[in-house]
Amino acid sequence: MKFRNFLLIAILSWFMSACAPVGTDVSPTEDLAQNTTPTGETPMMKQPLITTMYTADPSAHVFEGKLYIYPSHDLDHDNPGTNDGDQFDMEDYHVFSMESVQSPLVDHGEVLHVRDVPWATKQMWAPDAAFKDGAYYLYFPARDKDHIFRIGVATSKSPAGPFTAEPEYIQGSFSIDPCVFVDDDGQVYMYFGGLWGGQLEKWQTGEFDPNGTEPVATQAALGPRVAKLSEDMLGFDGPAQEISITDENGQPITAGDRSRRFFEASWVHKYNGVYYLSYSTGDTHYIAYATSESPTGPFVFRGYILFPVIGWTTHHSIVEFDGKWYLFYHDSSLSGGVTHKRSMKFTELFYNPDGTIKPIDP
C-alpha cells in the first residue's frame, strides 16, 4: 500500500509538471527571481503571527520602543464574494504588539467597533495609526449611511487603545486604505485610495459618481490621493491631491499596465532621504514601489517588493525597528486559500546599495 501511494504521488507530480504552461511571457516574478532577499529569518518570519483569528492589512509602527501592529479583522464566515467586496465585512479592530521580532505577539483586544462609530455602517477595512503630542490616532475607512466609503479617526492616550471615534468622518475624505506618514519636519500626510470596491474611480470629478469607471487602457492610471493633516490630526489641511506615478522616462503609468499601475494599499516610508511609495497592483497581485524626492511626488516606478501571495488581495506596511527593516503583509495560507480569511505575517526587508529594494518571495 505504501508503494502504491508513493507511485501515485510520483505520477501526479509528473503530470502537474508536464501540464505547466510553456512559452509564456516572462513575468515580473520570473524576471526578478534571482534577486530575491537572502535567508537568515527568525522562526516567526513568514508564519502567521496569530492563529486564533484572521487578520489582514497589517500597519506596523514603533511606539514606546515596541512594535505595534494595527490590522483589520477578517470574520470567519463563508458568505459569497461580490465586486463591492461584501465578503470583507470586518466590523472591529484589535491592536497587537511585540517587544522584539522574536517575542510572542500580544493581543490587546478589541479597541474599536463599528457600533461605536456614529457615522459608519459597515466594512471597517485597512487602518493605520499615528502619534503626535501625547496622543495616538487610529485612521480607518468604513461605509457611511449612503454606502460611500469615508475615512474616520479615533483617539487614545495609549498605542494599545481603546480608541474613541470622532462623531463625523474626515471632511473631504473618500475611498479606503489610509496611510499616515510623519515627515522629518513634523508635517503629517495621509495617503489613501483604492479601486473597484474602494470606489476611487467614482471620484474622478471631485464628486461621487456611482457610475464612474477606470480610465481606458491607454490613459494614465488613477493614482492614490495625498492630503496634509491639520495640526490637531483630525482633518485635512486643504483638499487631497492625486499622486502621479511615472515610468523611468517620465511617462505616466497607464491604466492598461496592470502589473505596474496603482490599485490600492498605498504605504509611504523614507530611506536615506528618499520617499518610497509602495502599493498593491490589485488583479496582478504584486506589491510594487516607486520613489520620489518629494512626499507628494511625482513618483518613479522602481520595481517590486513582494511577489503574489496565497489569496487575491495583498497589503503591507514597512517599518524600521532595532536597526533593521521589516515588511508586514498578509496571505490566506492559514485558511487554505480563502481570500477573505487572511493572516498577517512579516519578514525582513533588504535594500541594494543603490537604494532599490530586494524583492521578496513569500
Alpha carbon distance 75, 341 (integer Å): 7
Alpha carbon distance 122, 114 (integer Å): 6
Count CB-CB contacts under 10 A for residue 102: 10
3 state SS of 358? coil
Relative to beta strand 149-156, strand 135-144 is: antiparallel
Q: Is 57 a catalytic residue?
A: yes
Residues 6+ apart with CB under 8 A from 14: none
Alpha carbon distance 345, 362 (integer Å): 10
Catalytic option among 177, 201, 257, 264: 264
For residue 320, which of 362, 269, 266 has the smallest C-alpha distance?
269
Q: Is 166 a catalytic residue?
A: no
Q: Return the percent helix, strand and coil in the chain, to nearest 5.
A: 10, 40, 50
C-beta of residue 95 within 8 angstroms of C-beta of residue 55:
no
Alpha carbon distance 43, 345 (integer Å): 12
Catalytic option among 57, 74, 128, 257: 57
C-beta of residue 109 within 8 angstroms of C-beta of residue 100:
no
Residue whose C-alpha cell is 497589517: 58
Phi/psi of residue 80, nearest 5 degrees: -70, 155
| CA count, 13 A, side-chain hemisphere, 329 | 31
Tell me, rounded to whole angstroms, the distance of Cα 7 from its chain centroid. Answer: 43
C-alpha cell of residue 191: 495617503
Alpha carbon distance 265, 71 (integer Å): 13
**Residues recognised as catalytic:** 57, 264
